[in-house]
Amino acid sequence: MRRSMFVLLAFLMVIGACSSGDEPTTTTGAAIAGDTTTTTSLPPVLVDQAVWPLTGLPTDGVDATTAPVLIVKIDNTVSSRPQSGLAGADVVFDVLVEGGVSRFLAVYQSNVPDEIGPIRSAREVDPKIIEPFGALFSYSGGQDFVVTRVRSVATDVGFPRLGDAAYYRSADRPAPYDVILRTVDVIDTESLGLPAALLFGDLPEGVGEPASEITLSLSDLNEVGYVYANGTYERSVGGEPHLDATDEQITATNVAVVFVDQIPTGRTDSAGSPVPDYDVVGSGSAAVFRDGQVIEGTWQRSTTADLFAFVDENGNQIPLGPGTTWIEVVPNGRPTSWN
C-alpha cells in the first residue's frame, strides 16, 4: 500500500486549527513534490466551442461560450443527505465549514437538474473560489460583508433575495436543511460569462502511479473516500456510499485534492465552533486522481480571478480526464492516503 501524508509547519498548525476546534493531526512522511510558495506562468486554457469548458465533453451543438454557469451552495451534514441534484454537477468543491462538517460549491453548466439542494449560507472563502466562473450564485443568506463580496464576483440569485420566486421548503426535510432551488426560475438570468476553461486531455505516458482507493480526513468528523471502479471514482462519506436523492451514488471522473492553509476569522457559530476561512491563492501541495492513477504536484492560482491549475513535479500542467471533477479542499496537516 502506498501511503502519503502531508506535514504542516508548527507555526501554520497554530493558525490553521480545524474548524472543530482541534489542532490538525501532525503526521510524518514524504510531502508532495513541488514549490508551494511561488507560482509559475501558465498558458491560459481557452474555451473550445465544441466541448464544455468544465467537463471537456462534447457540447453536441450547444454554444458553450454563452451557456450560463450556476453555482449552488449545498449542505453536507447527515441531516441534509441525500442531496438533490448533486450528482449532476460538472465540478464540485468540498470545503470544510464550522463544526467539522463541509459544504459544497456545486458548479453546473453542461447539465442543470430541475431541483438542487438543500441550500445553505455563504462563507468567506466562497467569493474567492467562485470568482473565475462569472456565475449565477445560489445560496441561503450569509454575513453582510460576505454577501457584498459575493455580489461583486457573481450574479446573486440567492435565498431570501429571490424567495418564493425560485425556492421552496421541502416537507420531506427538517429545517434548516429544507431549502430547495428550482433551477428553471434562475437559469435564464443574465450571468457574467465564463472567461476560461479547465485543462483536459490524455495523461502523458509514464506520468502517475496506480491509486484506486483514496481516503481523506477533512476533520475528525468528516472522512471521505473514493474507490476507482468502472472508469469513475465512487464517493463515500463516513464509510457509506454517498447517494444522491435519486439513490444514485455520487461519482467523479477526476478527484483533485488541494491542501490549503486555514485562516481564523475570529467568528464562531451558535455552538461556539470557530468559523474558518482559507488561503486559496498562491500555490500548495496537490494530488490529482484520474484513470486509476495519482499525479502528485502542486495547485497554482495567481489571483482569485484564476481557475485552479494543477502542475506536476516537472512543472507541466496536469490535464484532467473529460468528465466530472471533485475538488477536495483539505486543511494542511490533515492525513490523506491512497493505494
Percent of the chain with pLDDT over 90: 77
Q: Residue 297 half-sphere exposure, CB side, CA atoms within 13 Å?
A: 25
Q: Span 1-339: which CATH code?
A: 3.50.90.10
Residue 93 CA, chain-centre distance (Å), reads 1
Q: Is the pLDDT of residue 181 over 90?
A: yes
Does the pLDDT at position 275 exceed 80? yes
- Quick check: 214 and 233 in contact, CB under 8 A? yes
Q: From residue 101, give the alpha-carbon distance in Å to each of 142, 238, 266.
A: 17, 11, 18
The reply to whether the predicted model has a pTM over 0.85 is yes
More confident residue, 41 or 182: 182
Of 237, 264, 227, 310, the C-alpha closest to 78 is 237
Cell numbers placing 79: 441531516
Question: What pLDDT score was predicted for residue 270?
Answer: 79
| Interstrand relation of 251-252 and 179-182 (parallel, antiparallel or unpaired) | unpaired
Q: Which of 15-24, 140-149, 176-185, 237-246 has the lowest mean pLDDT?
A: 15-24
Cα 82 from chain centroid? 18
**Positive or negative torsion for Cα 307, 256, 182, 142:** negative
- Residue 119: per-residue pLDDT: 98
pLDDT band at 14 (very low <50, low <70, confident <90, very high): very low
For 190-199, write each residue's pLDDT tens digit: 877 766 799 9
pLDDT above 50 for 321 = yes
- pLDDT for the residue 36: 42
- Tell me if 155 sits within 8 A of 189, measured CB to CB: yes
| pLDDT tens-digit readout, 67-98 | 899 999 999 999 999 999 999 999 999 999 99
pLDDT at 317 over 50: yes
Instruction: Give the position of cell 449532476.
Output: 88
Q: Within a 10 A sphere around the Cβ of 326, how many other Cβ atoms?
A: 24
